Amino acid sequence: MGNKVFTDRSRVEQAQRCLRARWLGYHEQGMGIQSVRKSLPLAVGGAVHEGLAVLLQAASAVPGAHNDPIACVAFEQDAVNAALADFASFDAGRLETDLSEDVDLSAMDAGEREKVRSAIDQYLYDENRALVEAMVRAYARRRLRPLLEQYEVLEVEREGSWELADGLMFMSRPDALLRDRSDHNLYIQSFKTGASWDIRKGKDAEHDAQGLSEGVEIEKRLGERVLGIRYEFLWKGERRRDKDLSARFGVEARSQASPLVRGYLSPGMTDSDAQWNWSWDYMKEGGETSKLYWKAWRAAAVWEHMPIAKWIDMLDATTLTVGEEGREVGWSGPAQATGFTVAHPLDACFHPPIIQYRNDDDLRDWVEQVEHAEVRIAEAVATVHAATDEGEKRHLLNVYFPQSRRECVYPSVCQFEKICYGGEHIRYNPLESGLYTIRIPNHPQEDAKDASEGA
Ligand code: SF4
């Protein structure tokens, strides 16, 4: 191999899912192309990661922060600002929801369609902007201190690369590198945002290549073993059909079922009389379970009634009530006007961390498999780039980068579906359609020229 060629875990996994998606996403036009729209989970997850990186970086720079609850939340606003700045790059209309959430506006005339579409897009943007802010604040209040108490944060989002094969560089950027304060072992921190807990997520982490791939660069650089990867899951809530929202837009609409951005409101005569519950289910003082009375309480978007910071303050003020004889009655506070809840609302948004230990046998297998696959892909990229006309390029793509046709619309719509199944024009000129743009590199080491030549 002549010039350096770059790869990373995302590219490897993309190739394993569909080689044509790998070509389009990382090699078409030299740098690869991407949809001008961004999938909602990726936009929210990316923005939250930005905020958490700022939080970890700032808090870990303060000596003794793990013993100081005030220091742990001192950087919350900086972290929120970073997260919201990242989210602001996906203005309303550029966020893409799942296909199952598509609404049929065909019965409306063009003007009405435009009005409804833009109202839905704006709501989606505002709702998820609120969610990004709330998730970062919730992490700062409830999860940062336990992490700092157990671990020293050595690095945050540090870029690195190592040579997988001759001239083939593997890039990585772990969320953070941690050292256990008691046994001094190294761990990689990985934040995962998801809708809710599912046993498959835990099982999936057991076979995830992230711990294997990200640890290699650290071990080569520091000459020290990385014992495992610490996954920390943050829950965004499901996107559920919402009757009130559907009535507001005149079409079926969904909302984010997360207590971080949605509560149950009983409006008073004035704003100051309004009462909130974060949970529909509650317990009475004697322990009997009950639900809110549907005529008195309606689901409401918190950010339309108060700043998210205020709502997180209310949720954070929740305390555990202990009755006579030391019996725990339940959690209550200003965000739950009715009864007690089983869990603290901010704790309900996280799953206890899972540690996956690295295994030498798995690592050896993974490196050999990835090296072989990536060398072949680099050679194939060079061959396709050398094609002299569209007919030859199409043939070479069919040979070296076939379409898997297995993940085109499920579990989510592939961003290249319009290219694979569109007309001749978009196949040959995806950028001219206005639906795609040149990929923005995810790692600074990438150089357009080196990455494009593939040899
Ligand atoms: S639409 Fe299907 S075949 Fe085309 S790149 Fe995506 S997953 Fe592959």
Task: List the domain boundaries for the chain.
Answer: 5-35+387-452, 38-237+351-363, 260-344
Query: Which comes out higher in pLDDT, residue 452 or 439?
Result: 439
Ligand 1 atom with minimal separation from the 408 CA: 2
Ligand 1 atom with minimal separation from the 407 CA: 7
- Position 452 scores a pLDDT of 42
Is the pLDDT at 114 greater than 50, yes or no? yes
Pocket-testing residue among 417, 419, 427, 435, ligand 1, by greatest number of atoms within 8 A of Cβ:
417
- Please, which pLDDT band fits residue 334 given cuts at 50, 70 and 90? very high
- Position 358 scores a pLDDT of 87
- Using the mean position of ligand 1's atoms as its centre, give its distance from the Cα of residue 300 in Å: 39
Q: What percentage of the chain has pLDDT greater than the value 90?
A: 69
Q: What is the average pLDDT across 362-386?
A: 95
Q: What is the average pLDDT across 77-104?
A: 86
- Please, which pLDDT band fits residue 168 given cuts at 50, 70 and 90? very high
- Using the mean position of ligand 1's atoms as its centre, give its distance from the Cα of residue 122 in Å: 29
Q: What is the average pLDDT across 27-44?
A: 93
**Ligand 1: which residue has its CA nearest to atom 2?**
408
Q: What is the average pLDDT across 345-365?
A: 90
- Position 23 scores a pLDDT of 98
**Cβ atoms of 255 and 242 closer than 8 Å:** yes
- Position 412 scores a pLDDT of 84
Pocket-testing residue among 27, 409, 420, 421, ligand 1, by greatest number of atoms within 8 A of Cβ:
420
Ligand 1 atom with minimal separation from the 18 CA: 8
Q: What is the average pLDDT across 272-296?
A: 93
- Using the mean position of ligand 1's atoms as its centre, give its distance from the Cα of residue 21 in Å: 6
- Using the mean position of ligand 1's atoms as its centre, give its distance from the Cα of residue 370 in Å: 21
| This prediction's pTM | 0.91
- Using the mean position of ligand 1's atoms as its centre, give its distance from the Cα of residue 200 in Å: 24
- Position 2 scores a pLDDT of 59
> Which of 163-172, 379-388, 413-422, 440-449 comes out lowest in average pLDDT?
440-449
Q: What is the average pLDDT across 275-297?
A: 94
> Which of 137-141, 210-214, 389-393 comes out lowest in average pLDDT?
210-214
- Please, which pLDDT band fits residue 305 given cuts at 50, 70 and 90? very high
For residues 289 and 126, what is the distance between their CA atoms, to the nearest angstrom? 34
- Using the mean position of ligand 1's atoms as its centre, give its distance from the Cα of residue 415 in Å: 8
- Using the mean position of ligand 1's atoms as its centre, give its distance from the Cα of residue 436 in Å: 15
**Ligand 1: which residue has its CA nearest to atom 1?**
417
Q: What does pLDDT average to over the chain? A: 90
For residues 79 and 138, what is the distance between their CA atoms, to the nearest angstrom? 11
- Please, which pLDDT band fits residue 68 given cuts at 50, 70 and 90? confident
**Ligand 1: which residue has its CA nearest to atom 7?**
408
Residues with CB under 6 A from ligand 1: 18, 20-21, 24, 403-405, 407-408, 414, 416-417, 420
**Ligand 1: which residue has its CA nearest to atom 4?**
420
- Position 98 scores a pLDDT of 77
Q: What is the average pLDDT across 304-314?
A: 97
> Which of 56-60, 269-273, 277-281, 437-441 comes out lowest in average pLDDT?
269-273
Query: Which comes out higher in pLDDT, residue 263 or 91?
Result: 263
